Structure 1
């Protein structure tokens, strides 16, 4: 089965009652199960989507903002406490090794007890941490992955990822402002999963967010308006555009109709507005 499962589709770290969870996605391609980003709620969302944590082969982190990495350690640790026996490789930007070391230090008490009491294999031997930057990330007989540094100030090490395997190519934009080089990076992809922002929805979000004096400046400098997402997809000639990391994702005053209306002037191909738990088959 080759598909994409959107585990969390909300932009930003806040969680609201009945709303979407922050960013995490699963890509099943060529017999491998790959987790892309790991915000809070990712472990539960994967299990509810029918994908056990022990099925995950590789994890890719696009950047170290909390709404992309907060549950990385807890997800891996939960997999270990439920029977992980094989190696998982975590690919992340500079700083990912320090994150992992810090997480394991925070669980030192529990880790020592479980090693002695339950006879589990050392987790530190099962997790391989690989730091990547722009360019080729990895390649083997079933999968190749490439990275493009995108523009997401103030984060410098933030990367779009291009996955190719089993006759399909899927590109994840990560978080970025409008960044035309993504069009070339995603050229000919079967699916482009791109973050998206509704201008009217962002203004409403700012009004209801306490202490948001600098939020407007950050959002417009660091994220992509929906109409510009359409421009990227058109330039790339992708087969299917999927909107993810939605801003806003949980405002009842904005619906799929608003997203389609914003994208329509710049993109006339297949369009899916992401929602938590959505499975997108890859032909």
Structure 2
């Protein structure tokens, strides 16, 4: 299951009711923080995100509205006497910038921080455990930027106990091998196919986070068929010239990416402050792609 909590979803500077980019992702019992703009830890408390559950932070790029909340959050972890190590993924330079600030401020963040600095312009596997894998999505912005693709690992097949009960020769000791996909050979020599003894596991789910970027169709093969896609849409189509100049995307362009990638659901955000009514972003995107939602602080998107 995927639960995506939007903590902040606006561009540029924080405002009274507009927080820059940050998201909390729960996927297959893993807990990740994605980007960390100013005010992230305040939003985490407001929306009851468990600080202690997060052991991995993914930063897309080193612009302030995606990164400036990180030092404050790590400092707070220090004051909370955190002991478990924190893994931080982000562009080359993130380690120096973060540790220098913590050192100058004489922070109490004495727990281990493991930095994974990124520089490749090709998609690469950067994290993997027995439940989830994470790949980069190379984007095109004014500075080096990556999105991230989070994918559940395939779960074991489920035992079809009704069919298994028809073969008294099958012992419980065989169950693990059966769940792993192996056929069973009976004492008589008869081979029982695994598909007869098991049920397909639940579909693996995936989430793609595409932060600040120009319109980039080349990412489509990387995010093909994802269940949930967040793609920035800083401008409406009337300011396509400004989107191109600042290397951002429009709502129409985000929808085109979603359509070409045949994703399940598109969430758009990173709205420019020039638009007091964000509903127009959804209306424009829906002229290209049907299943569009707006990112809003506190909203949780669930995929089962």
Larger RCO (CA within 8 A; separation ≥ 6): 1
**SS of structure 1 residue aligned to 2:89:** strand
**Whole-angstrom CA distance in 2 between matches of 1:85 and 1:191:** 33
Larger CA deviation: 230-239 vs 134-143 = 134-143
State the Cα RMSD in Å. 2.0
**SS of structure 1 residue aligned to 2:254:** helix
| 1:138 aligned residue | 127
| 2:271 aligned residue | 246
Q: 1:68 to 1:87 in 2, by over 3 A?
A: same
**Whole-angstrom CA distance in 1 between matches of 2:135 and 2:237:** 34
Cα offset for 1:223?
Answer: 0.5
**Whole-angstrom CA distance in 2 between matches of 1:86 and 1:164:** 24
Judging by fraction of residues, say which structure has more helix: 1
Cα offset for 1:178?
Answer: 0.4
**SS of structure 1 residue aligned to 2:271:** strand
**SS of structure 2 residue aligned to 1:182:** helix
Match of 2:207 among 156, 159, 170: 170
Match of 1:151 among 140, 147, 161: 140
1:273 aligns with 2:271: no
Q: 1:47 to 1:219 in 2, by over 3 A?
A: farther
TM-score (ref. length: structure 2): 0.77
Cα offset for 1:165?
Answer: 1.6
**Whole-angstrom CA distance in 1 between matches of 2:299 and 2:41:** 16
Q: 1:106 to 1:227 in 2, by over 3 A?
A: same
1:28 aligns with 2:29: no
Q: Runs of 5+ in structure 2 lacking a partner?
A: 154-203
**Whole-angstrom CA distance in 2 between matches of 1:9 and 1:219:** 20
**Whole-angstrom CA distance in 2 between matches of 1:202 and 1:101:** 38
Contact residue 201 and residue 247 of structure 1 kept, 8 A:
no
| 2:258 aligned residue | 233
Contact residue 236 and residue 281 of structure 2 kept, 8 A:
no
Counterparts of 1:102-113 in structure 2, within 5 Å, are: 102-108=100-106, 110-111=107-108
Residue-pair matches, total? 251
| 1:7 aligned residue | 7
Contact residue 84 and residue 111 of structure 2 kept, 8 A:
no
**Whole-angstrom CA distance in 1 between matches of 2:2 and 2:50:** 16
1:195 aligns with 2:195: no
Contact residue 194 and residue 229 of structure 1 kept, 8 A:
yes
Cα offset for 1:77?
Answer: 1.3
Q: 1:88 to 1:194 in 2, by over 3 A?
A: same
**SS of structure 2 residue aligned to 1:7:** strand
Alpha-carbon deviations, 1:21-46, whole Å to 9, x = none? 00000101121210000000100101
**Whole-angstrom CA distance in 1 between matches of 2:140 and 2:278:** 28
Contact residue 78 and residue 110 of structure 2 kept, 8 A:
no
**Whole-angstrom CA distance in 2 between matches of 1:104 and 1:74:** 9
**SS of structure 2 residue aligned to 1:21:** coil
1:264 aligns with 2:301: no
Q: 1:138 to 1:180 in 2, by over 3 A?
A: same
Cα offset for 1:280?
Answer: 0.7
Q: Runs of 5+ in structure 1 lacking a partner?
A: 112-122, 204-215
Cα offset for 1:251?
Answer: 3.7
**Whole-angstrom CA distance in 2 between matches of 1:32 and 1:93:** 22
Contact residue 78 and residue 111 of structure 2 kept, 8 A:
no
